[in-house]
Structure 1
């Protein structure tokens, strides 16, 4: 009798689990709103060294007195037909501040990704010049973890990865949006990335709202303007332009390479 009850219990639990999975809702198209948050005090402090501290340190101290620690920028990600378009939203009041315009704290990229073809087209603004970088999607070696959290109403799982050889990435993705995309060029997980943190770079992207709605295919298209480049040739241009910029050049390279 006891064995019969145990088997019956297992069958009931299995049936409930299958029913729950069958009722799970998936989002295949829509728009995601993201907030990019930069810790300006930390980003600025990285640029100060013995060669520039005479003029940078007073500027940094003055900034801390008059400006908030965190700068927030907004962007959208449209997705549908296994394609995405990441678009920065211009601030209502551009600061024109030298510190706040540094690449890691700005949003310089408009990125179209076609996951069916494995191709990404990025329009990148590098100071006064615009590049159009077309290449295969970025490959990130992810390691999934057991940590979970909710973002914008979706259950997400954590994954850790590495980009540009040395930048540690923490991402949270949801398999309820079965598109392998995310903000900027972050991709490659079994679901949409709704949260990204670069802990050592003092920058995060987190979704604030997901709107499920049909998306006009014409609104998810690759940008067209810019000097044609590949990932490799674009990196070469950056390296040649900033090879004598010291610490500031290295930080700029990271920001422009996202």
Structure 2
């Protein structure tokens, strides 16, 4: 009886050790994110090449970023890598203003189905709390190699965030292209919908849905990836979502200097819908200020 009890104790200690090892499992992945912008659609298609180049340089820091994903089996944090702006890189006031319209550090908990995002909007701290998006992935047979990892393709259609500035585009661009062609052919084109009071924001829209292609590797058996993406049988190493590409360039498994994967707590807690309304109200306030100055002139 004593021998049987001793064996049970050994098994119990072994199981505790396995559970601790599983909890101790951690990895770090570095992602390069790049968003493309159709500069021809800016300024009603009437900007010079010099103006396009200047705006593209100013937007580079916003459109090309490096992110760090720290993850264990059930949690992950996804943060932009901190770096100093190079001289003449479009930092300062421009960078500070645009950071108010881009996503902050994220925390995901797969078990609890929780997505938290820290956000600073015009000097005020928010903690946007939401459920993880329900992504219905279609697993494909196609594979490719990313570094030393064999990756499998998966696709889904995702509802776009109405305030996703990375997916914003001009409305009725096809009509604009047609008018431009008519103008080149010598035809007179008049747009009666335009008035002096029109605002540039009125010409922008976000698509209702975007197609997402992901590449994941079962060699790293965690159901997470960059940004809000999750739900595949392996770490997601690449995401193509609308105009944005997120590509993993480095992976370190069980690093010596492990990073804490902590649930954020700072900021006024709001839902995504509530936060979007705050953004809309602020944009409307800015539009009215801009319009007011225009009318006084």
Please give the range of the TM-score, normalised by the shorter of the 2 chains.
0.5 to 0.7
Aligned to 1:226: 267
> Residues 43-122 of structure 1: matches in 2 within 5 Å?
43-49=38-44, 53=46, 59-63=51-55, 72-93=64-85, 95-97=89-91, 98=94, 102=98, 108-122=103-117
Do the aligned partners of residues 48 and 115 (structure 1) sit closer, same or farther apart at CA in structure 2, a change above 3 Å counting?
Answer: same
Which residue, out of 211, 231, 235, partners 1:188?
A: 231
TM-score by length of 2: 0.60
- 1:48 deviation in Å? 2.9
Q: Provide the C-alpha distance between the structure 1 equivalents of 2:232 and 2:119, rounded to a whole number of angstroms.
A: 24
- 1:107 deviation in Å? 5.9
- Report if the CA contact (8 A) 2:26-2:258 is conserved: no
**Residues 41-69 of structure 1: CA deviation (Å, up to 9, x unaligned):** x254444326xx46x8752144569998x
Which residue, out of 4, 28, 31, partners 1:31?
A: 28
- Report if the CA contact (8 A) 1:143-1:161 is conserved: yes
Q: Provide the C-alpha distance between the structure 2 equivalents of 1:66 and 1:228, rounded to a whole number of angstroms.
A: 32
Aligned to 1:178: 221
- Report if the CA contact (8 A) 2:32-2:67 is conserved: yes
* Structure 2 residue 136 is the aligned partner of structure 1 residue 141: yes
> Residues 241-256 of structure 1: matches in 2 within 5 Å?
241-242=282-283
**Residues 175-203 of structure 1: CA deviation (Å, up to 9, x unaligned):** 222221111111122221110112x42x2
Structure with the bigger percentage of helix: 2
Highest CA radius of gyration, 1 or 2?
2
Q: Aligned to 1:219, what secondary structure does the other structure show? A: coil
Q: Provide the C-alpha distance between the structure 1 equivalents of 2:220 and 2:240, rounded to a whole number of angstroms.
A: 20
Do the aligned partners of residues 170 and 133 (structure 1) sit closer, same or farther apart at CA in structure 2, a change above 3 Å counting?
Answer: same
Which runs of 5 or more structure 1 residues have no equivalent in the other structure? 1-25, 247-258
Q: Provide the C-alpha distance between the structure 1 equivalents of 2:212 and 2:96, rounded to a whole number of angstroms.
A: 22
TM-score by length of 1: 0.68
RMSD of aligned residue pairs (Cα, Å): 3.7
- 1:218 deviation in Å? 7.1
Q: Provide the C-alpha distance between the structure 2 equivalents of 1:137 and 1:166, rounded to a whole number of angstroms.
A: 17
Q: Provide the C-alpha distance between the structure 2 equivalents of 1:66 and 1:134, rounded to a whole number of angstroms.
A: 31
Which runs of 5 or more structure 2 residues have no equivalent in the other structure? 1-21, 161-207, 288-297
- 1:238 deviation in Å? 3.0
Q: Aligned to 1:109, what secondary structure does the other structure show? A: coil
The size of the alignment, in residue pairs, is 213
- Report if the CA contact (8 A) 1:110-1:223 is conserved: no
Do the aligned partners of residues 62 and 114 (structure 1) sit closer, same or farther apart at CA in structure 2, a change above 3 Å counting?
Answer: closer
